[in-house]
Structure 1
Amino acid sequence: MNEPLIGITTRVIEASGLGAVPKGIDGAHLWGVFADYCEAVSAAGGVPVMLPRSVDPTVIVTRLDGLLLSGGEDVDPIRYGMEPVPQSTHHDQARDEFEFQLVAAAIECGVPILAICRGCQVVNVARGGTLIQHLAEVDGFSHAETDEHRSMRRHSVAVATESMLRAALGTDVDSEGNAAVNSYHHQAIA
């Protein structure tokens, strides 16, 4: 049996700080993802395939068994008809374009999509939705600003009893149906 090929979207990483002596290569860029994404795909029995923006999204999707849209910077508010607020400063228009094309191609080809963090926002906006650009302005709470390590679980979310998520989480759901999570987002789906 062939293991499923799971495409994982990448982000641009500046190479200027890399190397044994952090001098790097000025002006050079890398495409990469957090190792956790690849490790999770492998642990689930898939083969992670990092997707650089140099590939044609409509071609690569036809060769994949699944698409993982990874986290990262904010979707450019222009994509959902808004001007950026001061806190929405990190945009990558080339990544937005590439991932919007990937979403469209995956939907057209029936390729399953797992969207994480930014990925959820990409799917939402690609399908005509909008975003709350800065949660602290809406509810006064900032998920993104903390001194804790990003792996620390900071609050709970309710998980529906008969859901696929509940089955997947198993013992990570407490007796009241809550799971501790580490959400570090300053934006949300509107």
Structure 2
Amino acid sequence: MSALDAVRARQSWSKVEDTAPTREELLPLVSAAGRVADHSSLRPWRLIELRGTDREALGAAIAKAQGDASPSSKPLRAPLLIAVVASYRKSDKVPRWEQEAVASGVAHTLSLLLDEAGWGVIWRTGHYTRAKAVAKAHGLDKNEELLGWLYVGAKPAGRKPGRRKPVDARKLLTRMPKPGAKKGKKKAKQDEAPEGR
């Protein structure tokens, strides 16, 4: 399968079975995902595996963050959660937002690789990703932020993944406006302009 085919086939799986890739199976995928564009090669990210009772600890932390009496059952929706952490580095050249983009790129690339390897994956977030109780449960440092979790498990037999609308690339890939052009007026003509104008 080509990279283009793998990307086109990717879907989010909100429900998965209770089987997950082993750590040994994950390591080469994480290594490959770490090849994303990374200005100055800072590697401003890390991943945390949550399996078994780790997920229950996360459920308790989410409950604490939300002021709930009972632990959240959300982390139990998949046998493996991979916490995506932006681990910011001091840099005069690479701003914080760019480092977060690298961490996001790693997460997305890893989700593609897991999907292509046959696993069901969905990237879940929530307002509690920035909660102190959740950060503490993950052992985050002061220079780190949680960007969410990849929920990973076996794709259920006979089930279809969530639907995604097709992407209309013509609306999203535009051209640089000509100097002095009014916004929106000649958009269609600019979009269709030949290379080099």
TM-score, length basis structure 1: 0.26
| Larger gyration radius, structure 1 or structure 2 | 2
More helix by share: 2
Structure with greater contact order relative to length (CA < 8 Å, sep ≥ 6): 2
TM-score, length basis structure 2: 0.25
